[in-house]
Structure 1
Amino acid sequence: MNQISYDDFSKVDIRIGTVLEAEVPDWSHWVMRLKVDFGEEIGTKLSFSGIMKFYKPEDLIGKQFPFVINLEPKKIGPDRELSEAMMIMATPQASHAGGQVVQDDEETAPILFKISKKTANGTKVR
């Protein structure tokens, strides 16, 4: 395991956001497009997440999750839309090999971190 310094970790900006919209792009067979509200200061951001085999859009809409919001944006799909945030989730070891989902059963499904109490969008996670 590679260790990082506290200074390195403090650069990661993790915030709570509410999923306003969730949809599967026409071109996708594994990724969902999420529009996420991070409050007035940050606004809304797009996030693409490879969870389509395990979750439906309606499982996410209106719910709050933690996201890393200061990663360099990444172009996704044929339209090259920018993914501006990354949802934080647990991924069982058996579910990935070279970044690709190997199985799509309940035991290997990503585990989403749902917020137990409604909190303000944009709240910082430490």
Structure 2
Amino acid sequence: MHLIHDANMPAAETISFEDFLKVDIRLGTITEAELFPEARNPAFKLRIDFGSGVGIKRSAAQITDHYTPEALVGRKVMAVVNFSPRQIGPVRSEVLVLGFPDSEGAIVLAAPDLAAPNGARLA
């Protein structure tokens, strides 16, 4: 999947609220983060705890420009938890961690500014 990171692009096509509800975005805490040297582009392998309802999931995330593995452990992140898993080299990525590109295209993680429990669904 290739995402376009152009901040000057117009909004995507209109969808219904029912379509939006199909995307399950949850809050989780990163419990493990390590370099993913086999990836084509610099990335980390993550394990994220989404609470008892969703459980612990794995992800491969290209977020190496602004973050280190040590800084990621314990950090809250938002992720889509109901996409089909993708095989990325030797890693089965089960969730898509969400973020926004900065002015250079490096990803800045999306996260709440106040405390919320693991597994909370975006409302």
Count residues with an aligned counterpart: 111
- Tell whether 2:37 aligns with 1:40: no
Letter in 1 for 2:111: K
- 1:47-80 deviation digits (Å, cap 9, x = unpaired): 1111123321122110111111001110012x2x
Give 1:85 deviation, angstroms. Answer: 0.6
Counterparts in 2 of 1:77-96, with a 5 A limit? 77=89, 79=90, 81-92=91-102, 95=105
Equivalent residue, structure 1, for 2:38: 27
Query: TM-score if structure 2 supplies the norm length?
Result: 0.81
Letter in 2 for 1:39: G
Gaps of 5+ in 1: 96-108
- Tell whether 2:99 aligns with 1:123: no
Give 1:87 deviation, angstroms. Answer: 1.1
SS at match of 1:71: coil
Letter in 2 for 1:11: K
Give 1:91 deviation, angstroms. Answer: 1.6
Equivalent residue, structure 2, for 1:6: 17
* RMSD over equivalenced CA pairs, Å: 1.6
The share of aligned pairs that are identical, in percent, is 34
Using the alignment, how far apart are the partners of 1:37 and 1:57 within structure 2?
16
Using the alignment, how far apart are the partners of 1:117 and 1:93 within structure 2?
25
Gaps of 5+ in 2: 1-11
Using the alignment, how far apart are the partners of 2:103 and 2:21 within structure 1?
26
Equivalent residue, structure 2, for 1:106: none
Query: TM-score if structure 1 supplies the norm length?
Result: 0.79
